[in-house]
Amino acid sequence: MSNRTDVRRVLDTVKAEGRTALTAPEGKVVCEAYGIAVPKEGVATSAADAAKIATAMGFPVVLKIVSPDILHKTEAGGVLVGVKSAEDAQKGYDTIIANAKKYNAKASVLGVQVQEMLTGGQEVIIGAVTDLVFGKLVAFGLGGVLVEVLKATRSSPTRRSTTRRRTCSACKCRRCSPAARK
């Protein structure tokens, strides 16, 4: 389990590198430090490594490119869902690396995230930014490929819990949640 010292280390590294976004493994450190549940995952740096991590985790898994230079993984061909065998994990690793290099030849590729594939629930995106005018803001919306397709995110200041609740309830993605269908 990560702690807040790990979070500070991650944020300091990201800032020192001049980045404005975390990689998925960096985001996992932050989530774990604050008690937010995330799927099991590991980062593979070779095709054999991807097969080993996936086998230990159990199938099916999801493979995702890990690069600070590729934020929109799907657009880059950097996501494979439903990988069902060690052989498919190895092939998937090679495919994702090749796709990432085609998408951005100069991208720093750190590896491929091998992640437990969950079913049910709703994938969401949560982000934070400090705006020069509005101060600290929290963003919330549909996650995965739907972030770009529907653009269904909302932002609000972080100062008042009622504002945060309104942001979540006003978001278009609320109608897509399983709870909205009951």
Give 169's Cβ-side CA count (13 Å radius). 6
**CB within 8 A of 12, min separation 6: which ones?**
none
Q: Based on the domain organization, do 27 and 96 belong to the same domain?
A: yes
Task: Output the pLDDT for position 151.
Answer: 59
Query: Which residue range(s) make up the domain with 172?
Result: 124-181
Give 110 or 122, the one with higher predicted confidence: 110
Q: Based on the domain organization, do 103 and 129 belong to the same domain?
A: no
Q: Looking at this protein, which amino acid is placed at residue 109?
A: V
Over residues 139-154, the pLDDT tens digits come to 777 777 666 665 555 5
Q: Are 63 and 96 in contact (CB under 8 A)?
A: yes
Give 119 or 17, the one with higher predicted confidence: 17
**CB within 8 A of 51, min separation 6: which ones?**
86, 87, 89, 90, 93
Over residues 36-62, the pLDDT tens digits come to 888 999 999 999 999 999 999 999 999
Share of the chain above pLDDT 70, in %: 78
Distance (Å, whole) CA 137 – CA 172: 18
Domain count, the chain: 2
Q: Based on the domain organization, do 65 and 96 belong to the same domain?
A: yes
Q: Based on the domain organization, do 107 and 131 belong to the same domain?
A: no
